[in-house]
Structure 1
Amino acid sequence: MGNPALDTRPLPQAEPIGHHLNLRVLRYRSDPGHDEPVMLARELIAQGRYEEAVELTTKSLDADPEDVDLLLTHGVAMRGAGRLNTAQLALTRAAKADPDWSEPWRHLAEVLVARGRLDQASAVAERGLEIDPFDDDLRAIFELGELEQRAQAYVDGERDAEDPALLAQALLARGRVDAAYEVTRTALMDALDDEDVMLAHATAARARGELDEAIDVLILATLEAPDYVDIWRLLATCHEEREEPDRAREAAAKALAIAPYDAELRAMHARLDAGGETLITL
């Protein structure tokens, strides 16, 4: 027997992503009993289709306003759609309806963080941790709240128990730039000679877009600690961002002289050198 003839018919095309989900949504709108609303809404959320999920959960809650899964999913959809106030209300209802379930507490804490209510978020996270002490997201929010409280206490005058540089670095690592700035600004008013505080303050100032202040503080820091490579590194970066290539090259060269094997500094110095040569050529 010969070989079977090659089938040259085109392969069937896969359905576009989301096509099946679209059909399910259409069916649900015409017949709500055709699908499970929580699962359908969560699939919409997973695809970033928050408004459709909100529409679906709103309609479902009209029929069953006390369903905890629906309340939770509705709150998550509202958060994704940017409606934080309504999300907070829905998630609060979910947490009260099932206070021994940690998930509503976690989502509620995240919404409160997004609304800038960190004290409340930390308290909610603490409640959630009582239920699930191993939830990393809840613990991160709780610890962030504690960190902000320590920062505020330092600014308010309780300074004996804190190292301001370490506190500011911890805040910067969590993206709390303004709090870090206030801590270091307060510390520098007490003593303008701590190079670690000066470096942290310059880092915060740069993150706030205040390059002039960052550079002024870093220049003072180089006088206090002329061999502190990270000060020169950040100074070079700030000068480069302020479009001062000559000063950036000078600071990078100083840093490289202190740490000649630092790959990041070598790359920065080479880039700045190349930029200078290009300008001369032009």
Structure 2
Amino acid sequence: AEVVEVAEEAEVAEVAEVNQPVTLVSPKPPEKLSSAIKIELPQAQRQGPLIPPNKPQEVKESKEVKEAKQQAKAGNAPALAVVSSVSQVLNKTFSPGYTLLLSAQALAKEGRNKLALEECDRALRLDPHLPEVYQFMGQLLLSLGENSQAIEAFEKAIEMQPTFGEAYADLGQAYLRSGRYEDAAKLAGEAIKIEQINPSAFYTIGHALMEMGDYANAFEAFSRAVKLKPDYAEAYLGLANIQVRGGRVDDAVVSCRQAITLKSDYFQAYCLLGQIFRAKKQLADAQQALKQAIKLKPDYSIAYNYLALNYRSQGNLDEAEAACYKAIALDPNLPENHNTMGLLYGERGEYVEAITEYKKALDLRPNYVEAYNNLGLCYFKTNTLELAIEYFERA
């Protein structure tokens, strides 16, 4: 029998930590989640925003004060304007620490997350009893890749305010990024108990369940997130991932396109769309989508990998090798990159080089089934049958 080599598809999931809706062609989800993780959704009143310490509950506000507060809370005013023009007004209404939190939010809106973090530090030095500051610090730390510190900040916010639903949802996101999927789903469930209208919590549950292989309930959770927040681009990409896994690739294309419509720079959605088109043998469309992903994120190693595989499917080995070399240069520790390079060497009959690449992939991921199969194929083609059998059996 002919031995078929395996072109690695890697994990399709590009959900990420976490938006005008189309009518999903997916079936309507049931009204209640019923996953293996018991997440109960009791009736709950939507809670208003927590009242910051030292903030007067009754303040006579002029129209100017109200507008200034609304702009600051929404982060729409430039940070300097918040500090210089609005702070005097705000300080009449908020504690000094909370005013600095508003300034931090405005800085973050401008993309100045490190400066925003410094403002949060200042806020806590003035008033260490503001759970909202700890929550926002956690969000900033999460965006800066400081996951363990973010977890500590969210836990501190919850310790200070046990009914802080958004902090539970954010902590779930942090657990998600740490690979603690069951914990992430449970924390998001706690957030929903406190506040049912919490789309990010449903998104976290969906992502966690997807990673745990519970695709039916993951789809349900993503659908709930979209229902609560119709402009939730990440939730549409979550739906697309589930649809791909269920073989509903046309539905997945619709969901991907909706995510891109809502978030035009969504490089992960373009990458997934490229993979779907390649699976459908629409290679020109796949190439266009993958190149757009790379344009949006030039250091996107896995997109170069998929582009290399797409060139290979087109029979363009020179372009495929160039793309794969770029993928490896960007991330030499990604096993998929070495597996793909092995495929390209094997395509040229350079089996010694191919074997080297497959072994690199296995060093990085010892349970990499595709690399074992491809390594066995190389030994089979070089008539080293004992090794071929060994690696096929280990796959």
TM-score class, shorter-chain normalisation, is: 0.3 to 0.5
TM-score, length-normalised on structure 1? Answer: 0.47
TM-score by length of 2: 0.35
Q: Which structure has the highest helix share of the two?
A: 1
- The structure with more radius of gyration: 1
